[in-house]
Amino acid sequence: MASLVVVGAQWGDEGKGKVTDFLAQAADWVVRYQGGNNAGHTVVVGGKTFKLHLLPSGVVHERVKSVIGNGVVIDPLVLLEELDRLRDLGVQDPELFISDRAHVILSYHRLQDELEEKARGDAKIGTTGRGIGPAYVDKIGRAGIRMIDFVDPERFRKRLETVLPAKNNLLAKLYGARTFTVEEILAEYAEAQARLRPMVCDTSYLLDEALKRGERVVFEGAQGTLLDVDHGTYPYVTSSSPVAAGAAVGAGVGPQRIGTVLGIVKAYTTRVGSGPFPTELKNATGDRIRERGREYGTTTGRPRRVGWFDAVMLRHSVRVNGIDNIAVMLLDVLSGFDEIQVCVAYRVGDETIRSFPADLELLAQCEPVYERFAGWHEDITGCTRFEELPQAAQDYITGLERLVGVPVALVSVGPGREQTIVRKQLL
Ligand code: IMP
């Protein structure tokens, strides 16, 4: 198969960056198709840690071409900063193509994100504060600014003159906040406009040509299925479509060009931000997993909420994405526990629930029904073949396959590229 999509099958932070980087060794293109710099993808190469927010995780590979697709919202200043940081770490001028149809995040979107979160009070979503939601709202509301218009000074001015009055009205009248002038925005973004201009093109066309030539393409999802605006725990979601089908829309390719779907999971579950989380562990076991897994946000530094693996949620993810295989990440974090649990169903009163509910009030009442697995105490970070894992760790993986209903193709036992057990060739 010449192409593959990497999707988060939980609430994000599953380790998609590492898997994408690993697969990029055999790929020609890596494409981001949604989200923005709310994402935080950590890639460790040769002992150096790269924290990427907007750039596709293939960017550290010299021969890989990187695409930021039309479905992404781009903060131009963050993108420049990230390119500069990458250069400092020794990656010179990566081949980067930015969709002319992608929308930009401007300073007023960040301010709006902050004001809206404050106004929500106790019902806050816990956004990353990067202006993601407001930028997508403007896109759907036809008040957005696309890269093609952003990089042309005259067109950028014209678009701002059209959309800024309504935005200023909202900021001043609804929130009593500051307003913006066209001139100050033009000045703030002049450098970004000039530097990004040469990278902006029709990336759908480029990808189509590449796929016709039989080149290998990895579509890299950000966030995760349970943060998807349609299939996640709405309203505690992000404003885009991380699911596999989002890759077709967000990269401008037909759905039949996506190839196979690889779902990424942690060996346990984490979540940042608000909303119900049935298997959450608010106890010493949860704290221990958080510390062992260094479960603090790449983008915001917030401690992540931690819980056991939830197979009910995973079956939902498998269905809405069409997941063919899964990659189980951070298995090493579970070393040292006497017992590991996996949620196989929910219970509310006398009722057993086997499919993931849309009703968040019901979800908040769900008590997990657990299957217990024996733990292991060995250090597994040096294992390179499945058979080298302790029997209990192997049983845990095959148990997940049985409960989720799809094969585990990759198992990760540490942050490095070489700490990846391959059970099935994917690309
Ligand atoms: P937003 O995407 O900044 O609007 O945030 C909406 C929700 O998605 C919040 O709960 C965030 O914590 C969550 N979120 C956004 N991006 C990520 C991510 O990359 N990993 C995990 N959670 C995320």
Which of 50-54, 176-180, 366-370 shows the lowest per-residue confidence on average (mean pLDDT)? 50-54
pLDDT at 390 over 80: yes
C-beta separation of 27 from 286 below 8 A = no
| CA 237 to ligand 1 centroid distance, Å | 7
Mutate to test the pocket of ligand 1, among 272, 296, 299, 300 (most ligand atoms within 8 A of CB): 272
Task: Give the pLDDT confidence of 139-169 residue by residue, as tens digits.
Answer: 999 999 999 999 999 999 999 999 999 999 9
Task: Give the pLDDT confidence of 188-213 residue by residue, as tens digits.
Answer: 999 999 999 999 999 999 999 999 99
Rounded to an integer, the average pLDDT of 60-67 is: 94
Task: Give the pLDDT confidence of 294-340 residue by residue, as tens digits.
Answer: 999 888 889 999 999 999 999 999 999 999 999 999 999 999 999 99
Which of 61-65, 228-232, 344-348 shows the lowest per-residue confidence on average (mean pLDDT)? 61-65
Taking CA atoms only, the protein residue closest to ligand 1 atom 21 is 12
> What b/e readout covers 361-384, taking b as 16+ CB neighbours within 10 angstroms?
eebebbebbbbebebbeeebeebe
- Catalytic, 41? Answer yes
> What b/e readout covers 92-105, taking b as 16+ CB neighbours within 10 angstroms?
eebebbbbbbbbbb
Mutate to test the pocket of ligand 1, among 18, 223, 240 (most ligand atoms within 8 A of CB): 223
- Which among 13, 100, 228, 332 is annotated as catalytic? 13
- Which among 21, 28, 41, 100 is annotated as catalytic? 41
Residue 1's pLDDT band (cuts 50, 70, 90): low
Mutate to test the pocket of ligand 1, among 75, 127, 241 (most ligand atoms within 8 A of CB): 127
Which atom of ligand 1 is closest in space to residue 274's alpha carbon? 10
Task: Give the pLDDT confidence of 220-246 residue by residue, as tens digits.
Answer: 999 999 999 999 999 999 999 999 999
CA atoms within 13 A on the CB side of 267: 27
Taking CA atoms only, the protein residue closest to ligand 1 atom 16 is 38
Integer CA distances (angstroms), 194 to 75, 88, 172, 182, 189, in order: 14, 21, 31, 17, 9
- Catalytic, 316? Answer no
Taking CA atoms only, the protein residue closest to ligand 1 atom 20 is 12
| Distance, CA of 138 to CA of 319 (rounded, Å) | 30
| Distance, CA of 390 to CA of 411 (rounded, Å) | 13
**Domains annotated on the chain, with CATH:** 3-99+200-261 (3.40.440.10), 103-196 (1.10.300.10), 266-422 (3.90.170.10)
| CA 385 to ligand 1 centroid distance, Å | 34
The residues facing 201 across adjacent strands are 99
Residue 216's pLDDT band (cuts 50, 70, 90): very high
| Distance, CA of 187 to CA of 185 (rounded, Å) | 5
pTM comes to 0.97
Supply the pLDDT for residue 47. 80
pLDDT at 46 over 90: no
Rounded to an integer, the average pLDDT of 386-404 is: 98
Q: Residue 314: CB partners within 8 Å, gap ≥ 6?
A: 9, 10, 263, 265, 326, 403, 404
Rounded to an integer, the average pLDDT of 94-122 is: 97
Tokens of residue 44, six digits:
């460790």
| CA 339 to ligand 1 centroid distance, Å | 31
